């Protein structure tokens, strides 16, 4: 068994890069992986110099889901009631619910790059990212249906918000996989790139994000989530509230003043 860390962390040009690193186990998710991932996530949240977080992986899979052998080896008693199972999902399972909530709340962009097959828990983690990028050879599935259960840590709730009930039925109810192009069609991923240029394209995308206005992106992240929950009229209120805060910032005030001054100069000419 490899002694290498289950998660590698690097920093490049304002991008924190978290790399799943269990290629011999298809990057199946373990407790140490999630503990290190949460540490990296909080470092990203709390470090102003870090503008973007990128999640990627090594090996022939992006992620094969949770490591079921590790779970069995713990020897922990399985809940014997419905409420116990619900609490296990909410509070246990490697802290996934807590971590995914934090990913969605951080007012910075999180990007995930699928270079290959992404299933189960790996796909559920990806659903809490702001941007999902795929190589042409990537594919997606929820194997939980084979065991007669649901992917209950984002695999129904977040999936349905992103792709809608139409496609969620195909992935969860029919238990069918999707290739990268199908994932793009259903809105599961934002971009599909050639395998040969995938890594370069992903880093170019992340560097592009680092050059965007951080306040605007953070506010947009919150406003988009809020407006998806309410009706059109309330959504307009959210837009106005969010933009009123942005337009009072010194950067916008200066840009606006410079623009007006430029228009005045052109009129004088």
For the annotated catalytic residues, the residue numbers are 124, 144
Contacts (Cβ under 8 Å, ≥6 apart) of 181: 136, 192
Rounded Cα distance between 151 and 174, Å, is 13
Nearest to 152 by CA among 195, 108, 121: 121
In 3D space, the residue among 82, 138, 80, 143 whose CA is nearest the CA of residue 114 turns out to be: 138
**Alpha-carbon span 138 to 195, nearest angstrom:** 9
Contact 214, 207 (CB under 8 A): no
Q: Rounded to whole angstroms, how far apart are CA atoms 240 and 219?
A: 12
Q: Which of 207, 33, 203, 213 is nearest to 107 (CA)?
A: 213
Q: Where are the beta strands (DSSP E) in the chain?
A: 7-12, 15-20, 52-57, 61-63, 110-114, 117-119, 131-135, 139-141, 178-179, 191-193
Q: Which residues contact 80 (CB under 8 A, 6 or more apart)?
A: none
Provide the 3-class DSSP secondary structure of residue 140: strand
Distance CA 142, CA 145 (A): 7
């Amino acid at each position: 068994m490899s002694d290498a860390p289950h998660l590698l962390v690097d920093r490049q040009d304002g991008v924190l890069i978290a790399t799943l690193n269990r290629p011999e186990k298809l990057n199946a998710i373990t407790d140490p992986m999630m503990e290190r991932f949460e540490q990296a996530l909080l470092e990203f949240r709390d470090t102003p110099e870090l503008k973007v977080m990128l999640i990627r992986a090594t090996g022939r899979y992006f992620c094969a889901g949770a490591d079921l052998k590790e779970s069995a080896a713990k020897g922990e008693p399985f809940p014997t009631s419905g409420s116990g199972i619900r609490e296990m999902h909410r509070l246990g399972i490697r802290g996934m619910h807590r971590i995914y909530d934090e990913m969605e709340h951080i007012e910075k962009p999180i990007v995930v790059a699928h270079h290959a097959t992404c299933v189960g828990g790996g796909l559920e983690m990806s659903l809490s990212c702001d941007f999902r990028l795929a190589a042409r050879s990537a594919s997606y599935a929820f194997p939980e249906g084979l065991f007669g259960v649901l992917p209950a840590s984002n695999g129904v709730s977040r999936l349905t918000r992103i792709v809608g009930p139409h496609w969620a039925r195909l992935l969860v109810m029919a238990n069918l996989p999707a290739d990268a192009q199908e994932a793009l069609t259903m809105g599961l991923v934002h971009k599909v790139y050639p395998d040969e240029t995938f890594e370069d394209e992903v880093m170019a995308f992340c560097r592009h994000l680092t050059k965007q206005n951080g306040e605007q992106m953070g506010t947009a992240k919150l406003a988009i989530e809020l407006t998806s929950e309410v009706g059109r009229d309330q959504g307009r209120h959210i837009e106005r509230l969010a933009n009123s805060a942005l337009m009072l910032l010194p950067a916008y005030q200066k840009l606006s003043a410079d623009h007006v001054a430029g228009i005045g100069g052109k009129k004088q000419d």
